[in-house]
Structures are given as C-alpha cells and as structure tokens.
Amino acid sequence: MALKVGIIGASGYTGSELIRLAAGHPEISIEYVTANQYKGMAVSDLYPHLTGVYDGKYESFDLDTAIAKADVFFLALPHGKAMEVAPDILEAGCKVIDLSGDFRLSDPTVYEVWYKKEHTRPDLIEKAVYGLPEIYEEKIKKASFVSNPGCYPTGAILALAPLLSEGLIDTEGIVINSLSGVSGAGREPKPETHFCKVEGSLTAYKVGGIHQHTPEIEQYLSDIASKPIVISFTPHLMPISRGILTTAYTDAVGSTSLDELLDLYKLYYKGKTFVHILPRGQYPQTKNVAGSNYCHIGLAFDERTNKIIVISAIDNLVKGASGQAIQNLNIMMGFPQDMGLKHAGLMP
C-alpha cells in the first residue's frame, strides 16, 4: 500500500517540485496539498507542466483533515510558519520533513538574530534531525522529524566535509562563494529578481556574512570538524532559473596532492548515490545537474598558494530542497535512497 503524504504550502517552487517528484515515486500517494490562497484551484492550473502528472486541487490547511488523509508531511512553508504547524502534526503521530529554516539551528537565539523572527517552539529543535543524508543518514533512519537543509548549505557542506573530517585544511580563513539561479528567491515577484534586472547580469547580495544560511553552514561544518568554524560566505544571483555553483577556498595543512585529494573524496562519498566526484581537470556545471538530485564535485590544488579549491554544483530546487526531502523520506521509511529520484540532469 502506497505511503500517504501531504504537502503543506504547495504553491511555491519547492512545493511544485515536491509534487512533481512525489507523483513519480512508486511508493508515494499524494493525498493532501495545501495553498490557502489557491483553495479549490487545480494544481495543474497554477503549474501547467503538472497536467496529467497530478490532478488534485489545492485545499486550505486544516489539521484534522490533514492527519486524516496522510501519514507523512512535507512543510514547504515560509520561515516562521513551519513552527506554527509542525508541533500539532508531530503530536498527532505523523512524520514531518520541514523545508524551512525554522529547526535547522540548534540555538533559538541564533535563529532570531539571523531570521529576524521570534522562535516560538525551541523545545522542538533538539528533536529535529538535520537532513543531509550523506552526513547524517543513521540519525535520519530513526527520525520522525527532519529539518531539510538549505540550498546554499547543501552545496557548501558537501564540498568541504571530507577535508574537515580529515583535518586537512586550516579551519580559519575559509572562503565560500556561491552563485544561485533566480528560483532560489521564490515564486513571488520582486524588483530585484525581475527579468530586466537579472538578465545578462551577475550580482552579489547580502555581502559581508549577513546571509541567513551563514550560521547553518558554520554549525554543521563545526560539527564535522569537531571545532568551531567561522566562514566568509558571499552569495550571488545569476541569470538562470535553477542551479547553485559553489566554490570554496581553503588553505592546506601539511603536504598533499590533487590525486590524494581526489582519492579522499571518492572514499568519503563511496556508496553515496547522489554525490559524484569528477575526474582530474573536470569541474561541475549547473546544467549537468539541473532537474536532478545529484551533487557534482570537482577539485583543484594550487601548489603556488597552497590552496585546495573545491567546486560543487547542485540544483537548488532538487538536491537543494525538494529532491533532498524525498531522499530523506526514503531513508526514514526504509526505501532505497534513490527511489523516485533517478533522474539525470537536463542537457542541453
């Protein structure tokens, strides 16, 4: 019998991706999708690409209706809203995968500083497992509440985890630059993401370590390194719909070589279906992972400056959000991790 799932907040880009991916999953039945402002509208009217894929209609959220219809819920809600919904769903005995930032940070005061919102359910933070499967798979297996990682943190953490786990880099002075497609800003129109503003232009934003994903990256890199990590992180907007290209610059500790680094990464991610380490001289491209749940990683070693440079590429809406959420559900339910996610990148 198929697993009954609900998607709360299904009118945004991550919500539509959840519907697209879940509809093609052999063990999932989508029983409940909500978007209060589109109540009664067919999902395919808002997203015509889902015509014939999912024929349901949006409902307004009602707790009793939700828990009567589904057993597992994806929360694709804005930051600050998931903490209003998650507690009651969990109390009803259902599983929750939250795609917002509400439960990613271990300290609620840090959340309040970076997200500019009061955290009303700090008691639930320690119950949420961080859903980066390549690092925390064993915890996810036992979880009923998973906090799905942010898109920028996914690309950055996967890029740096092997180096930090082996103590191969200086933990001070790590610089991370990430370039994201415009869909990362969400479906609601904004002046700064208008076509005329972004077409043919690259733009840095929230410069100077003020992006809300900074403490998330630092928290989990610190966990991997077993020591506090402070990074310099600068996000950029690029004129494409989807994708994140991350470049991390680090200082090597001791002697190393590119071949040794490539061997380390291949061993660290051995058996991790969705992380591919590219051969020497090849580097990730966002186009190669677009529409897929894969993360491509390439490495370089600059002997002149003694810097290890790591580049990763993901689709911000899939591995950076909805695909990773499905991957987490697979782990929680004991399904193969790649079930419903074995889609190659879209090329060209």
Q: To which residue do tokens 């840090």 refer?
A: 110
Q: Could you tell me which residues come within 8 angstroms of residue 199 by beta carbon, excluding any fewer than 6 positions away?
A: 239
In order of 107, 260, 272, 291, the CA distances from 36 in angstroms are 31, 53, 38, 27
Q: Helix crossing, 323-333 with 133-141: angle to 10°?
A: 40
Distance CA 192, CA 183 (A): 12
Q: To which residue do tokens 């799932």 refer?
A: 5
Which is the catalytic residue, given 94, 151, 196, 295?
A: 151
Kindly report the number of other CB atoms within 10 A of residue 197's CB atom. 14
Catalytic (active site) residue 151: yes
Distance CA 17, CA 25 (A): 12
Q: Which two tokens stand for residue 168?
A: 């191969």
Decide: helix, strand or coil at residue 292: coil
Give me the active site residues, please. Answer: 151
